[in-house]
Amino acid sequence: MVKKYLRIMLVNLVLLLTFYPYSATAAVSLKGIWHLQDRKNASALLESAINNAVKGMNFFVRTKGRKILRNETNLCYTWSLAATKKDFIWQCNSEDVSRLSLKANKLRASNHNNEIIKSTYKEENNSISVTFESSTGKRVYSWSIVHNNYIEFTTKIERKGIPKSLEWTLIYSRIMR
């Protein structure tokens, strides 16, 4: 099953890199397939982050806050990252491929609530962050090189009605360039 999963990820990345010429300036060191390092403890880390985010809430609404945040989270065991001259491209597990213009600062309609979302792309030193912001909250994904073959992936979610932001960081190792 793991081999089949990795084969699907490899095919997706090869397709991404084949059809989109890679930019030498964007996301150079992040290109490739990245695999979660501490898979056993990742769910517990995420659950702890959720509990920390709802800690300041009234006891009676804390359960609803946990449910909202659990619905907002997704644990990625594998990241596929690439870039073209115009776009940054990423894929979590075997979900749909996402892309954002390297010059992103645009509005787009969301699929589920049809609300307006502002999308931004930012590249600094050895990291890339993608931000999505709407009237109900903000989500930031950050991929940062910590070593040649290791990245930290951080997610930060701010939701209306949740007093503290939900944030967690996981370490990934490169399994393919």
pLDDT value of position 143? 96
Sequence ranges of the domains in the chain: 2-176
CB 121 within 8 A of CB 102: yes
The rounded distance, in Å, linking the Cα atoms of 160 and 138 is 9
Backbone angles phi, psi at 98, to 5 degrees: -110, 150
> What does the mean pLDDT of the chain come to?
81
- Hey, what are 27's tokens? 């996301």
- Hey, what are 79's tokens? 């990241």
pLDDT value of position 26? 43
pLDDT value of position 161? 82
pLDDT value of position 109? 58
Under CATH, domain 2-176 is a member of which superfamily?
A: Calycin beta-barrel core domain (2.40.128.20)
Which is it for the CA torsion 9, 11, 17, 19, positive or negative?
negative
CB 89 within 8 A of CB 81: yes
- Cα atoms in the 13 Å half-sphere on the side-chain side of 118: 8
Kindly indicate the confidence band of residue 3, based on its pLDDT and cuts at 50, 70 and 90.
very low
Strand order from edge to edge, sheet including 127-134: 98-101, 87-92, 78-83, 32-36, 166-176, 150-159, 137-147, 127-134, 116-124, 105-109
pLDDT (tens digit per residue) in 25-54:
344 478 999 999 998 999 999 999 999 999
Of 10-24, 25-39, 64-78, 128-142, the range with the lowest mean pLDDT is: 10-24
* pTM assigned to the model: 0.79
The rounded distance, in Å, linking the Cα atoms of 51 and 35 is 26
The rounded distance, in Å, linking the Cα atoms of 35 and 92 is 10
pLDDT (tens digit per residue) in 159-173:
888 889 999 999 999
pLDDT (tens digit per residue) in 92-128:
999 999 998 887 676 665 556 677 888 889 988 889 9
